[in-house]
């Protein structure tokens, strides 16, 4: 059985590499708390948008999709899932809602993690929901020729319950005694969770739900307003690359979690940066065109319609498309490419 000692990792020589992220995020956390007191109504507009983006993105990473229309109905609980993908989406919706509502009552224990998995898989008929794996699983990839190969072999099923108990115990010991900064401890825990890979299905989505839960419990609420899952989905190659590098030598205790820790903290820091920008946009209650104009005013180089949608999550797709057309007509921005290859750049705003 691998040893889990987060306190010793916190004293490793790689810690200075993440201190800048810890300092930046802590500073941004203070700014967010000020916004929470000053602009509660504007922030609530971001919450529902982030829930939809998080649910859509976290499932999309795993190849689970539905249409935008169906997604909105599922998020509003105005329809029942009609296939397995929609069952998975509804489950993520429910688990994320529980975390939003009751994060301070969800302790970090194997029992609560099993309950979250039960909720995540709750709309499916899967027999393994709410249970640790009973068969060996593998993290695989497929090359350009369609050949599948194993990237990483997670922990054996018979070791999984004890390993989950140990990482929870070590996390709670370190967080409870203030032995490791939460921003370092959280990605360490998630890294080990992904290496254990405790479930037959749903490990990636559970890791993202647990990341949100742990951040909330430590007072970092940015994921409530800016979707961390959407950021990971947008840079999923970097996510998998960081995880793969950090997993090397994990079974022997010779792994280096630094790449994964830096990736997670970089994602959180980026979300805080976006938070400040979007609060300003929704606070001013600008017309759609002016909101888009302001959002893209600081963009360097080319950007896409999807980039604008991310910057202006309160706007509908049709509103963004109309605004872009008007800005092109005004020669404020330039359009190039067609279809999915369409991109824009600012000329004068």
In this structure, are residues 62 and 240 in contact, taking their beta carbons and an 8 Å threshold?
Answer: no
In this structure, are residues 75 and 52 in contact, taking their beta carbons and an 8 Å threshold?
Answer: yes
- 209/117 Cα distance (integer angstroms): 10
DSSP SS3 for 293 = helix
Per-residue model confidence as pLDDT tens digits over 87-112? 999 999 999 999 999 999 999 999 99
Which residue has better confidence, 141 or 307?
307
| Number of neighbouring beta carbons within 10 Å of residue 181 | 17
Strand partners, 346: 333
Task: Determine what percent of the chain falls in helix, strand and coil, rounding each to the nearest 5.
Answer: 65, 5, 30
Per-residue model confidence as pLDDT tens digits over 222-252? 999 999 999 999 889 999 999 999 999 999 9
Cβ neighbourhood burial of 44 (10 Å; 0-12, 13-18, 19+): exposed
pLDDT over 90 percentage in the chain: 73
DSSP SS3 for 150 = strand
Is the predicted pLDDT of residue 278 greater than 90, yes or no? no
* Residue 133: predicted pLDDT: 98
Domains for the chain: give ranges and CATH numbers.
Answer: 6-282 (1.10.3290.10), 286-346 (1.10.10.10)
340: tokens are 């999915």
Banded pLDDT at 11 (limits 50, 70, 90):
confident
Alpha-carbon separation of residue 15 from 255, 257, 264, 267, 268 (angstroms): 15, 11, 14, 17, 17
Would you tell me the crossing angle of helices 258-284 and 182-196 to the nearest 10 degrees? 120
210: tokens are 């647990």
DSSP SS3 for 107 = coil
- What single-letter DSSP state applies at residue 121? T
Banded pLDDT at 306 (limits 50, 70, 90):
confident
Is the predicted pLDDT of residue 50 greater than 80, yes or no? yes
- What single-letter DSSP state applies at residue 303? B
Strand partners, 308: none
Task: Indicate yes or no: pTM above 0.75.
Answer: yes
pLDDT over 70 percentage in the chain: 98
233: tokens are 């989905």
Residue 342: left if φ>0, alpha if ψ -120 to 50, beta else—which one?
A: beta
149: tokens are 């190969």
Per-residue model confidence as pLDDT tens digits over 256-276? 999 999 999 999 999 998 898
Is the predicted pLDDT of residue 71 greater than 70, yes or no? yes
DSSP SS3 for 152 = strand
339: tokens are 């279809």
- 107/121 Cα distance (integer angstroms): 20
What's the gap between Cα 332 and its chain centre?
A: 34
């Amino acid at each position: 059985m691998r040893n889990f000692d987060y306190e010793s990792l916190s004293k490793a020589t790689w810690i200075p590499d993440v201190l800048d992220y810890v300092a930046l995020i802590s500073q941004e956390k203070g700014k967010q708390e000020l916004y929470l007191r000053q602009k509660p109504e504007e922030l609530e507009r971001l919450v529902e948008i982030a829930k939809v983006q998080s649910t859509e993105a976290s499932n999309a990473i795993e190849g689970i999709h539905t249409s935008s229309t169906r997604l909105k109905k599922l998020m509003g609980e105005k329809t029942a899932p009609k296939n397995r993908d929609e069952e998975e989406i509804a489950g993520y919706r429910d688990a994320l809602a529980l975390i939003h509502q009751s994060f301070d009552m969800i302790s970090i224990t194997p029992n609560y993690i099993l309950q979250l998995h039960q909720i995540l898989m709750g709309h499916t008929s899967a027999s393994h929901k709410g249970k640790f794996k009973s068969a060996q699983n593998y993290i695989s990839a497929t090359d350009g020729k369609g050949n599948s190969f194993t990237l990483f072999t997670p922990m054996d099923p018979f070791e999984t319950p004890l390993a989950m108990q140990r990482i929870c115990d070590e996390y709670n010991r370190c967080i409870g005694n203030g032995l490791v900064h939460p921003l370092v401890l959280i990605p360490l825990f998630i890294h080990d969770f992904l290496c254990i890979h405790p479930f037959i299905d749903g490990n990636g989505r559970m890791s993202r739900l647990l990341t949100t839960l742990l951040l909330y419990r430590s007072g970092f609420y940015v994921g409530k307003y800016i979707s961390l899952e959407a950021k990971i989905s947008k840079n999923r190659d970097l996510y998998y690359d960081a995880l793969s590098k950090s997993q090397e030598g994990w079974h022997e205790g010779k792994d280096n979690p630094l790449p994964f820790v830096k990736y997670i903290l970089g994602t959180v820091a980026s979300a805080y940066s976006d938070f400040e920008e979007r609060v300003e946009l929704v606070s001013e209650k600008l017309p759609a065109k002016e909101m888009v104009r302001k959002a893209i005013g600081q963009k360097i180089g080319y950007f896409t319609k999807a980039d604008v949608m991310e910057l202006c999550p309160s706007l509908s797709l049709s509103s963004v498309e109309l605004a872009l057309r008007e800005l092109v007509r005004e020669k404020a921005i330039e359009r190039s490419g067609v279809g999915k290859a369409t991109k824009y750049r600012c000329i004068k705003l």
